[in-house]
Chain A
């Protein structure tokens, strides 16, 4: 199990950040991902894999300013 924005989820362990976001249909370019308190830099999305008990926060941005 992992925690995503405070909600428990199963099935994400072992996925890369890119795969995880794509499977959620999340707009990957508009999201900053924090894992266990640290921001995972965009350049690392393809190779960082989600581990059991990770706490993920997806910080999403919408257009307008």
Chain B
């Protein structure tokens, strides 16, 4: 079978370039990993881009929502994508960075009733919701259906507080929570600080894939 060429680049070329700068011996492990990201907004779009760039091989993106103009101050979408389902637009954007990873999209609302099905094939569950009740629901349900899967979450990334108040915590086995823990969305949510929290989540996911379980 002939090797596929996308946007003028072969798989070999893209991965050779990636391996030149990825941490030594990480890329093959990343290529095999399956990360499911719940929420494709400020956290989720930034997490997905980071994981795509380093070659995480299988991503599932879940979000029920469509893109609005008020999303664009922090979410990785374009003016031309306003009105599109977030998961569809995000997949489009990710494929421009790396067309060779597998990206599944699910335009549904995550509820206690569908957590078991939605996260069945995930190695790592990544929470990237806006709504605090949805965050709590997902931790509750994940601990019920998948107590042995790591779950990486975010809470508190609003306002213009110091970057250095955002940390990753590890309060119980398999649970990692990034954020300042207190700043609420009503303060306003802006790309720089949301991206810090997203970076924390994405780096924790990366560490877990590569066998580092500590924060």
A residues sitting closer than 8 Å to B (CB atoms) are: 27, 29-32, 34, 37, 39, 41-42, 57, 59-65
Q: Which of B152-211 contact A (CB under 8 A)?
A: 153-158, 171-172, 175, 177, 179, 181-186, 189, 194
Whether the Cβ atoms of B136 and A29 lie closer than 8 Å is yes
13 contacts between A and B (CB under 8 A): A32-B139, A32-B140, A39-B144, A41-B143, A42-B136, A59-B171, A59-B175, A60-B155, A61-B136, A63-B132, A64-B130, A64-B157, A65-B185
Tell me the complex Cα distance, A42–B130, Å.
20
Given A63-B131, A64-B157, A64-B189, A41 contacting B39 (CB threshold 8 A): no
Size of the B side of the interface (Cβ < 8 Å), in residues, is: 38
Q: Closest B-chain residue to A59, C-beta based?
A: B171
Tell me the complex Cα distance, A34–B133, Å.
16
Distance in angstroms from B111 CB to nearest chain A CB is 12
Whether the Cβ atoms of B172 and A34 lie closer than 8 Å is yes
* The residue from A39, A57, A62, A63 contacting B140, defined by CB atoms under 8 A apart: A39
Distance in angstroms from A26 CB to nearest chain B CB is 11
Given A30-B132, A30-B133, A30-B135, A62 contacting B171 (CB threshold 8 A): no
Tell me the complex Cα distance, A40–B48, Å.
31
Whether the Cβ atoms of A64 and B171 lie closer than 8 Å is no
* The residue from A32, A39, A62 contacting B182, defined by CB atoms under 8 A apart: A62
